[in-house]
Each structure stands twice: as structure tokens, then as C-alpha cells.
């Protein structure tokens, strides 16, 4: 019995076995879905914005359904957003808030594939 407990503790502590904080999160209100979009620095209280290409919508990357949850967004740790650019990719997102016309939907990012990092040219001041 002691060995089973030890193996369980090792599996939980190993990153490959850890459960995702996005998909399966109890705060998620609807099915996760894929979106091709642009991830960029946000403003105000939402630090990360995800624009689904071809729409007029903006998704806010968050850790839950409240705007305060956007201070510590859930997104893949291996995905690095450059301070001078943006990321285009196919994202799998899970919604924390329902779809409402005229409101930013809060989501977490489970994964990103086909990642392209785009840097802004330096400003000429």
C-alpha cells in the first residue's frame, strides 16, 4: 500500500501527469473549441486578448469568469508572447463566460498549434 501511495504522489508531481488548469476546470461553462486567432497584449484589467481572425470579437484570456481573474490568465506556459509582438496560432480555448453580444467573452487557452510569432518593427522616433 505504501508503494502505491508513493507512485501516486510521483505521478501527481510529474508535469506530464498533472491535470490542466484549463480543460476540465470547474469554472468552464461550455465546450472547449478551436479558433484561429491573434494573441496580443491587452489593456486595462485584461492582460491578454485573443482576436479570432475574421471576426469583430475579442476574447479575454482569464483564469475564471470574473474580470479580476484576468490578472493571472491560464495559457500554455511554453507559449511566450514577445513584448514587441503578437502570436498567430490555432488555439483551443475553454469559455468561462457565455457568449453575449457586445461583451468580451472570458476564456482560458488549453493549447496552441501552428504558432507564428510576429514582431512589430521598431518605431522611428
Percent of the chain with pLDDT strictly greater than 90: 70
If 0-12 CB within 10 Å is exposed, 13-18 middle and 19+ buried, where does residue 37 land?
A: buried
Say what the pLDDT of residue 124 is: 74
Say what the pLDDT of residue 122 is: 76
Say what the pLDDT of residue 49 is: 96
Domain ranges of the chain: 21-119
Q: Which residue has the cell 457565455?
A: 98
How far is the C-alpha of 35 from the C-alpha of 87, rounded, in Å? 13
Q: What is the mean pLDDT of residues 34-45?
A: 92
pTM: 0.79
Q: What is the mean pLDDT of residues 30-34?
A: 97
Amino acid at each position: 500500500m505504501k508503494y502505491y501511495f508513493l507512485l501516486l504522489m510521483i505521478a501527481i508531481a510529474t508535469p506530464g501527469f498533472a491535470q490542466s488548469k484549463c480543460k476540465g476546470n470547474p469554472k468552464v461553462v461550455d465546450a472547449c473549441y478551436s479558433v484561429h486567432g491573434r494573441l496580443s497584449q491587452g489593456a486595462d484589467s485584461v492582460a491578454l486578448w485573443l482576436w479570432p481572425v475574421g471576426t469583430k470579437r475579442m476574447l479575454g484570456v482569464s483564469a475564471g469568469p470574473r474580470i479580476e481573474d484576468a490578472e493571472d490568465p491560464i495559457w500554455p506556459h511554453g507559449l511566450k508572447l514577445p513584448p514587441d509582438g503578437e502570436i498567430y496560432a490555432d488555439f483551443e480555448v475553454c469559455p468561462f463566460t457565455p457568449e453575449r453580444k457586445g461583451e468580451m467573452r472570458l476564456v482560458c487557452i488549453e493549447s496552441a498549434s501552428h504558432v507564428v510569432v510576429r514582431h512589430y518593427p521598431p518605431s522611428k522616433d
